[in-house]
Structure 1
Amino acid sequence: MIHIPFNFYGPSLQYKTWSTIEKEIQSFNPKIIGKGACNVRNIYSISLGRARNPTIFILASIHGAEWHSTIFALKFMKMLRDNTFPDKQFRANLLARYNVVYVPVGNPWGYANKTRLNYNSVDLNRDYDNFTQPETRAIRDHFREKKAFAFLDLHLMQPTYSKWDLIFAYGNDETYLLNDEMAGSIQTKTRVECGRWGKGLASMGRNWAGKQTSPNGGHVVSVLTEITRDGVVPEKRIMEYGLLQQYIFLKYTMKYFEERVYTI
């Protein structure tokens, strides 16, 4: 289990309008990978590190009501870009040896309207089997184009959704021990019990990604994370937990790639 010798601190997490968040995304010189079903708002991708290196793929706000994930994931990417990340050795290794691809808003219409569904009233995290929507097709094609060996799907949940306030869920049986280690690390650091979920439905992103072939050998490490929202977990804590989830996921997937081990 990894040791985390620092704490993440930052401003309290607050919603930002689509126009504001789009400007922040554009500061990264992003790539447009498609448009949402509304055919107005772009779906962007940000890349940090070296493009030819093994790719780790992170997705936020596939459910627009879970807009918090866009805010804390962008915060994480800014810390990497601006060299303000507290673990300097981790940052240097990540950016020198990997390519981090981040889709900050998987559901732009849903984000702008703070709703779970997209413009066509489809739950996009139930559309990874038939890919009926332009958002899921764009994510699918981009993931395949980048030949990612790891996939992180950032979510938040309603207070009645689970007995736990933190969740790590795996997308294939082969890497469930790695997921268990990730959950244990955040639980140790936060002193908040972290639930472990198994594979989701075939139509869910983590299950789809977990079935893909890793171009680098081994299995695709596919993980979904959850944090309880709507006032149960304070917004400042959501920011801290969201940053921790990404850090832990990246640390473990890097270790897995380099040593092909399921536990640390």
Structure 2
Amino acid sequence: MTAAFFIWGNNMRILLFNLFLLVFLHQAAVAENVTCDFGTVKFLSDYPTARLNGCEEKSGNYHLYISPEVKPVNPSPWYGFKVVSDKKKTINVYLNYTYSKHRYWPKVSRDGLRWHTLEARKIKKYRKGRKVRLRLSVDKKPLWISAQEILNNQQYDLWNRHMARKDFVNLYILGKSVQGRPIYKLETTGKWDRGKPANVVLVGRQHPPEVTGALAMMPFVETILSDSILARRFRQAFRIIIVPNLNPDGVAGGNWRTNANGVDLNRDWGPFTQPETQLMRAELDRFRDDKDGKLRFMLDFHSTYENLIYTQSRDDSLYSANFALHWYDAIKKRLPDISFEHEPRHNTKLPTSKGYVYKTFGVPAITYEMGDKADRMKIRELAIVSAEEMMKTLLMTSEKQ
């Protein structure tokens, strides 16, 4: 048993959904927020996940400045702010990127919960995307603007507790982040077919802006933890360890890529200089020499420009390569019309989760990437099918061993 602190188990009651609204809308502000008051118009970044680094008014237009937490950094320019106006009117807001260029299509909300994309006619790029004009209709009610819809730490906490309502799921605090935020782990329990269980590890949100990966991870996990015949059979053979949000500091800070120390966590699986990755190393060490059963599979959820999986190459172990091929082919057979690519890569020299797990344990370790602009309903559909086919493929290979 891991040393993680057990906090939520069988038959404990979940907070009501109304509490979700209360928690989300009354969170404490995070450090280094910027408030720009131009009299009739105000720009606010007084909530977790916000990023606004400065602003000024020029000739009736509003120029906002967006900067990363460190340089150099991966070009994932996250932004987030609210705007309110004394009067109902339409204003021009210019996003000025001090590093990189525009990537994320603006999402708009009136309550921070329900989002839609800003219409194309209200967006215009300048200087090859280093500057972007938004035409915004504003009034006294806050208008939220964000690079992607917000999925913050409090939402993860409530989702974790919802999953832990199941009588075979326990919720633990795996440890703490740089800034002392809890990092949670969900773990299934039960009597397995072969004494010590085979183990599957799922990891998410190493990179804060990668919301579409998180939107895939949740239905993926829900499918594995469902009451379907397939899921019940799978859980008799496999224990599932789930770390949905490895970088809560980066999420709260609206970071482009890194944790609170300015380190890309998915380039720290090897050096293990950060508390977040050290926690994952300790968790995975349970499976060295089969001390707590064998590790059979690791899946890490991310986002990029398109839907794809990064897997071991065909030159890597036959088991790992064949698993990836069988899994991917099964998904595409069921969903031929959804864009989803397979990119085998031999990159164990990179200190990523995928490279570390494959090199250390010799098992399939895959990065599951969702496109920034992917249709949200298709993300969910693909995640459900991917989870089902993963379970089938792992059960099939397990029975052959």
Alignment TM-score, normalising by the size of structure 2: 0.53
The corresponding residue for 1:24 is 159
Question: What SS class does the counterpart of residue 117 from structure 1 fall into?
Answer: coil
The verdict on how the C-alpha distance between 1:79 and 1:189 changes in structure 2, with shifts beyond 3 A counting, is closer
Aligned partner of 1:182 among 297, 307, 327: 327
1:194-251 deviations in whole A, cap 9, x for unaligned? 22221334301111001223xxxxx42211121211x2x1122122223333333333
CA distance in 1, matches of 2:251, 2:394: 28
The corresponding residue for 2:246 is 106
Residue 253 in structure 1 maps to residue 394 in structure 2: yes
CA distance in 1, matches of 2:189, 2:384: 18
The corresponding residue for 2:93 is none
Question: What SS class does the counterpart of residue 68 from structure 1 fall into?
Answer: helix
**1:165 to partner: Cα distance:** 2.9
CA distance in 2, matches of 1:206, 1:64: 18
CA distance in 1, matches of 2:399, 2:252: 39
CA contact (8 A) 1:187 1:194 kept: no
Residue 58 in structure 1 maps to residue 202 in structure 2: yes
CA contact (8 A) 1:69 1:242 kept: no
CA contact (8 A) 1:199 1:206 kept: no
**Larger Rg computed on CA atoms:** 2
| Higher RCO (CA 8 Å, separation ≥ 6 residues) | 1
The corresponding residue for 1:8 is none
The verdict on how the C-alpha distance between 1:210 and 1:82 changes in structure 2, with shifts beyond 3 A counting, is closer
The verdict on how the C-alpha distance between 1:193 and 1:67 changes in structure 2, with shifts beyond 3 A counting, is closer
**1:127 to partner: Cα distance:** 0.6
CA contact (8 A) 1:54 1:98 kept: yes
1:171-192 deviations in whole A, cap 9, x for unaligned? 8811112212222222222223
Question: What SS class does the counterpart of residue 155 from structure 1 fall into?
Answer: strand
Residue 210 in structure 1 maps to residue 210 in structure 2: no
The corresponding residue for 1:73 is 217
CA contact (8 A) 1:50 1:97 kept: no
The verdict on how the C-alpha distance between 1:54 and 1:195 changes in structure 2, with shifts beyond 3 A counting, is closer
Residue 45 in structure 1 maps to residue 181 in structure 2: no
The corresponding residue for 2:274 is 133
**1:139 to partner: Cα distance:** 0.9
CA contact (8 A) 1:73 1:242 kept: yes
CA contact (8 A) 1:185 1:248 kept: yes
What's the % identity of the aligned pairs?
A: 20
CA contact (8 A) 2:223 2:231 kept: no
Question: What SS class does the counterpart of residue 378 from structure 2 fall into?
Answer: helix
Where is the strand percentage greater, Structure 1 or Structure 2? 2
Aligned partner of 2:375 among 234, 237, 240: 234
**1:167 to partner: Cα distance:** 2.4
**1:114 to partner: Cα distance:** 4.4
CA distance in 2, matches of 1:168, 1:182: 12
The corresponding residue for 1:196 is 343
CA distance in 1, matches of 2:149, 2:382: 15
The verdict on how the C-alpha distance between 1:241 and 1:114 changes in structure 2, with shifts beyond 3 A counting, is farther
Gaps of 5+ in 1: 1-10, 214-218
CA distance in 2, matches of 1:61, 1:148: 21
The residue type equivalent to 2:204 in the other structure is: A
The corresponding residue for 1:165 is 307
The verdict on how the C-alpha distance between 1:244 and 1:156 changes in structure 2, with shifts beyond 3 A counting, is farther
The verdict on how the C-alpha distance between 1:15 and 1:72 changes in structure 2, with shifts beyond 3 A counting, is farther
Question: What SS class does the counterpart of residue 64 from structure 1 fall into?
Answer: coil
CA contact (8 A) 1:186 1:194 kept: no
CA distance in 2, matches of 1:91, 1:102: 15
Gaps of 5+ in 2: 1-113, 116-147, 165-169, 288-293
CA distance in 2, matches of 1:109, 1:118: 6
CA contact (8 A) 1:168 1:183 kept: no
The residue type equivalent to 1:62 in the other structure is: Q
CA contact (8 A) 2:231 2:391 kept: no
Alignment TM-score, normalising by the size of structure 1: 0.78
The corresponding residue for 2:295 is 148
The verdict on how the C-alpha distance between 1:113 and 1:246 changes in structure 2, with shifts beyond 3 A counting, is farther
CA contact (8 A) 1:166 1:225 kept: yes
Count of paired positions: 233
CA contact (8 A) 2:309 2:366 kept: no
